[in-house]
Amino acid sequence: MFTISPMTGRLTATERPTPVMITFCARKEIFLKDQALLFCHVIEPNIGMSGEAIARIPILLSAQAAFSR
């Protein structure tokens, strides 16, 4: 139901905030209010061989899809 763009990205300490677009497309009626369905994983690339996750931030989502008859 959700599409995220971009799915991954790399930020440096001097970069400005990067916009992330979350698109909601439902095929049936649904109502969500403050649900933690998506998580942002922050990975420090300088720790270990392939980096280490240092944070898992929940993203609260609210959405409603209603189909009129």
Quote the number of domains for the chain: 1
pLDDT by residue (tens digit) across 15-61?
A: 888 888 999 999 899 999 999 999 988 888 888 777 888 899 999 99
Q: Which domain holds residue 40?
A: 2-65
What's the pLDDT at 4? Answer: 92
Bigger pLDDT: 62 vs 12: 62
Chain-centre distance of CA 49, in angstroms?
25
Residue 47 φ/ψ, nearest 5 degrees: -110, 125
One-letter amino acid for residue 26 of the chain: A
What's the pLDDT at 3? Answer: 92
- Note if the pTM is more than 0.75: no
Tell me the CA distances in angstroms from 19 to 9, 23, 46, 56, one per residue in order: 11, 13, 24, 18
- Helix/strand/coil for 7: coil
What's the pLDDT at 53? Answer: 86
